[in-house]
């Protein structure tokens, strides 16, 4: 990858489509436009142009936009060609761009150039990747907080406070005899560092919620054989995911499907029926069922009779007791027998079960802030910064020079989140998450 190349790519996804967008970025953008459309449009203005090969052969007619660097997405001269989305038109135009000496962009290369040219920091880049991959409303809101720079503003504000504290300490160390330098920074610097410590700790408490939004909520369906687990799985997925028979032990492995509920991704897992068995294959299925239930955010424990809930005490994760087959005349339930009662056969109670699952999800209103650390590396760096600040506050007996060094380590940890320091080894991994053309 060379940042001196002028690059191009189809940015609008699969073809055929009504409209296709081809993006160009680099120092040869103006020359390329002159070769294709002769007259370069005024910056940031749509212009309808005939797009031709160098020999004058007509390719297509479409809208052309030109963005003069650095006022562009990548910080370089950029252009977009909005043409008809047929495979033939796109192939002809991409081939012509290659013949003009441009290089096809690699995955995430436009965004990587924006990062290197200071148009985005690393948090905004990751937020953009998450926004492109968002499948639920909560994922969209979480990604927007990052890609729009709101989260970066918080971290940059903390970094400025750390820089100010270090500057005050350095002033006291170097100019202690000067009249205009305070004799002690304890009342100003350390009081603010204590506040910053509390702010970062509170911020880190939102990490589990961000993880649920970004990675999904693991919900496991468990219970005895023939309790209706696979039938419930199919009902919630609204398609045949699991095989349903009257034979006990039909499900022997963990089957999974993803649903969208209340703005969250729900990762629903159907498991083998829990019972004592000598069948080695079924035993392995039961072992896997217990393992996935132990790591679940919520277990839907199904039973067709009150006595079937006896094994719930062995599950340490949150449990929702679900009484099943209530359409059967043989079933006798009282109001205390389960949390929810359903019949997959008739559909009775399934809506109540969905509501009960939704009630276990975090409550977020439209105005709730989702400026949260959403990736493991964010959390790790924040914990490093928090530890360094805590160590600095506890190092007063060792001298303010030791305290200043701890604050420097805290600043570096925050800088690694936004990409200001020591992140070169992360870049290839992060930008590989992007599609070609972004």
Tens digit of each residue's pLDDT (9 = 90 or more) over 229-275: 888 888 888 776 655 545 444 555 678 888 888 888 888 888 877 76
In a domain, 103, yes or no: yes
Domain CATH code at residue 57: 3.30.1360.120
pLDDT score, position 333: 62
Domain CATH code at residue 252: 3.40.50.300
Q: What would the pLDDT profile of 347-360 be if each residue is shown by its tens digit?
A: 888 899 889 888 88
Whether residues 100 and 130 share a domain: the answer is: no
On whether the CB atoms of residues 26 and 91 are closer than 8 A, the answer is no
On whether the CB atoms of residues 257 and 237 are closer than 8 A, the answer is yes
Whether residues 337 and 221 share a domain: the answer is: yes
pTM of the model: 0.79
Q: How far apart are CA 242 and CA 145, in angstroms?
A: 38
pLDDT score, position 291: 82
In a domain, 433, yes or no: no
Confidence of residue 426 (pLDDT cuts 50, 70, 90): low
Whether residues 232 and 347 share a domain: the answer is: yes
Structural domain including 408 reads 124-206+372-419
Whether residues 83 and 159 share a domain: the answer is: no
List the beta bridge partners of residue 217.
Answer: 266
Domain closes at, from 88, 117, 146 = 117
Give the count of domains, the chain. Answer: 3
Whether residues 162 and 34 share a domain: the answer is: no
Closest Cα partner for 95 from 139, 43, 53? 53
On whether the CB atoms of residues 51 and 83 are closer than 8 A, the answer is yes
Whether residues 11 and 87 share a domain: the answer is: yes
Between the alpha carbon of residue 243 and those of residues 193, 212, 302, the distances in Å are 58, 29, 17
Confidence of residue 85 (pLDDT cuts 50, 70, 90): very high
> What does the longest C-alpha to C-alpha distance in the chain come to?
91
Whether residues 344 and 222 share a domain: the answer is: yes
Region 383-388: what's the mean pLDDT? Answer: 96
In a domain, 434, yes or no: no
């Amino acid at each position: 990858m060379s940042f001196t190349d002028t690059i191009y790519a189809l940015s609008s996804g699969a073809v055929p489509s009504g409209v296709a967008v081809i993006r160009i970025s680099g120092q040869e953008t103006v020359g390329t436009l002159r070769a294709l459309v002769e007259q370069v449009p005024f910056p940031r203005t749509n212009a309808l142009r005939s797009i031709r090969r160098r020999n004058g052969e007509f390719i297509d007619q479409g809208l052309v936009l030109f963005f003069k660097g650095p006022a562009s997405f990548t910080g370089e001269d950029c252009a977009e060609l909005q043409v008809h989305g047929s495979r033939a038109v796109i192939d002809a135009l991409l081939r012509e761009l290659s013949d003009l000496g441009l290089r096809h962009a690699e995955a995430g290369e436009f965004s990587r150039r924006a990062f290197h040219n200071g148009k985005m920091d690393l948090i905004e880049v990751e937020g953009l990747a998450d926004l492109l991959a968002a499948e639920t409303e909560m994922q969209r809101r979480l990604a927007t907080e990052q890609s729009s720079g709101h989260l970066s503003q918080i971290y940059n504000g903390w970094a400025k406070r750390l820089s100010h504290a270090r500057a005050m300490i350095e002033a006291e160390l170097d100019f202690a005899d000067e009249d205009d330098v305070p004799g002690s920074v304890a009342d100003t610097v350390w009081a603010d560092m204590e506040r910053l410590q509390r702010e970062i700790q509170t911020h880190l408490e939102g990490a589990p919620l961000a993880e649920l939004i970004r990675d999904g909520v693991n919900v496991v369906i468990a219970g005895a054989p023939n309790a209706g687990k696979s039938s419930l799985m199919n009902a919630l997925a609204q398609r045949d995911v699991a095989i349903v028979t009257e034979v006990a032990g039909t499900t022997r492995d963990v089957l999974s499907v993803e649903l969208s509920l209340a703005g969250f991704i729900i990762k629903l897992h159907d498991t083998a029926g829990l019972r004592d068995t000598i069948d080695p294959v079924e035993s392995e299925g039961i072992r896997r069922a217990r393992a996935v239930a132990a790591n679940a955010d919520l277990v839907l424990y199904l039973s067709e009779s009150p006595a079937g809930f006896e094994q719930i005490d062995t599950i340490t994760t949150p449990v929702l007791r679900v009484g099943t087959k209530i359409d059967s005349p043989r079933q006798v339930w009282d109001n205390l027998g389960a949390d929810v009662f359903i019949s997959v056969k008739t559909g009775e109670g399934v809506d109540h079960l969905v509501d009960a699952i939704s009630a276990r999800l975090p409550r977020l209103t439209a105005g709730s802030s989702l400026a949260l650390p959403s990736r493991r590396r964010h959390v790790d760096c924040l914990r490093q910064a928090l530890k360094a600040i805590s160590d600095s506050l506890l190092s007063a007996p060792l001298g303010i020079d030791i305290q200043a060094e701890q604050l420097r380590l805290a600043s570096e940890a925050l800088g690694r989140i936004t990409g200001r320091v020591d992140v070169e080894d992360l870049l290839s991994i992060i930008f590989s998450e992007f599609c070609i053309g972004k």
